[in-house]
Amino acid sequence: MFGHGTIERRTRDAKPATGNLLWGSLGRQGTGCGSIDYKGERLKGAPMNCVFAKTIYTGRRVLSNAYLVFTGPKISGTAASAKGRREGDFDVITPAFIDAHSHIGMERAGEPSSEGEANDQIDSILALPDALDSIQMDDTGLRDAVEMGVLYSCVVPGSGNIIGGHAAVIRNYAPTSTAALISRGGMKAAFGYNPRSTHRWKGKRPSTRMGAVALLRSRLDEVQQKVAKYNQARGAKKQEITFSAEEKVLQDLLAGKLRMRAHVHKIDDIAALLRLVDDFKIQATVEHAMDVHRPEIFQELRRRKIPVVYGPLDAFAYKVELKHENWRNVRNLLASRVEFGLMTDHPVTLARQLLLQTRWFLRAGLSKQQAIELISRKNAQILGIDDRLGTLESGKWASFIGWNGDPFDLASYPVAVYAEGSVVFADGVGPQDGPALFYS
């Protein structure tokens, strides 16, 4: 066994590789390595496999000298001894990482900013656009993310509009945007500076914070009154009241069927959001909160059970509403005990650097296990996908990262990344011992 991690790869080419990785025969279940069935479970007749690690961070606890056991795309459990075919040995195994707020695939690496698609400029309230329709899976940022174990992203529209459209939780390793979709991520909204900075775009645009909130209130009130009128109507009168596609979406938002993903940085902009929540009984998530430098608003969010998707840390404070941004603000976040996870806001900070952001929380007192939870279990819970992702537990997807050392050591890196039971990245098995991706 090699201290820095080994994995026995099975592929169509039965030949030895240089370095610490071994090549074997045909991929499991005859699908080939990295061939993922996005619809089927592949459990019936699937072989049992296992990988060993000196340390396994499950997303809930830390295991020593243990095996992670998986059958097809799902985890069977952990064990003290090998079960089924032993595929690899690693120093550390962690759950796959989840980026809870990103524009990856919409703002694409190697393309000019003019080709970015995070914000449509046709109007300020856009309830129908779907981030999934602008995601291009050939964005090389997705490949970089997979290599660092960031296998899942909640891709949201930008914050130039008051309402920007639907978010999509995706597999970063899927061949097409349709295959990538895991779940819906809510409705993007924006408060503060950004929606008032786009007054030169098309449509009805605000130039102040109060104007932006007023436009949103007016539109929500219109739909709310129409719904009330419809509910009170009887017979033919009821049939006369029809809802547009946009109104149906906003109706779902008002009914709590859609969560508002609210871009907001400053304390008083969060206060404005909470007044809107009170008036319309909206389910919301606070996105960013990077200018919050006092604990009270986080305490209020905890009291209301409104989660925070915090970040991006390590980004340049390029506007006035970020003048109080400082890594030490995480202490207020932690002290409040509000539910929170982390984002990269890719490309503001790169998706592949998600784990790097947790170092500030280690400095503020979290354990390594707790830091990993922020970008696995906590993000999965906030996004509503914790039934399948976020922890290495029986019945969940076999999506995990095999490391050659302590993930929090700058010299360490993933040597193998598994998605739903298949290897999607392995280091040292490609040309000239370079990385190899197996899902494209």
| Domain boundaries, given as residue ranges, for the chain | 6-95+390-437, 98-383
DSSP conformation letters of 342-384: E--TTTTS-GGGTGGGGHHHHHTT--HHHHHHHTTHHHHHHHT
Q: How many CB atoms lie within 10 A of CB 123?
A: 14
Per-residue confidence (pLDDT) for residue 7, from 0 to 100: 53
Report the alpha-carbon angle 151-379-413, nearest 5: 40
Per-residue confidence (pLDDT) for residue 167, from 0 to 100: 98
Per-residue confidence (pLDDT) for residue 46, from 0 to 100: 78
pTM: 0.91
Q: CATH topology for 6-95+390-437?
A: Urease, subunit C; domain 1 (2.30.40)
* Close Cβ partners of 242 (under 8 Å, ≥ 6 residues apart): none
Which residues of the chain carry a pLDDT beneath 50? Answer: 1-4, 9-34, 40, 430-433, 440
Q: What is the signed CA dihedral for 53, 59, 62, 68, rounded to 10 degrees?
A: -30
Per-residue confidence (pLDDT) for residue 427, from 0 to 100: 86
Query: Residue 326 and residue 135: Cα distance in Å, rounded?
Result: 32
pLDDT digits (tens, 9 = 90+) for 280-307: 999 999 999 999 999 999 999 999 999 9
Per-residue confidence (pLDDT) for residue 171, from 0 to 100: 98
Q: Decide yes or no: CATH 3.20.20.140 for domain 98-383.
A: yes
Query: Residue 202 and residue 218: Cα distance in Å, rounded?
Result: 19
> Which among 119, 206, 210 is positioned nearest to 159, based on CA atoms?
119
Per-residue confidence (pLDDT) for residue 6, from 0 to 100: 53
Angle between helices 267-280 and 209-232 (to 10 degrees): 10
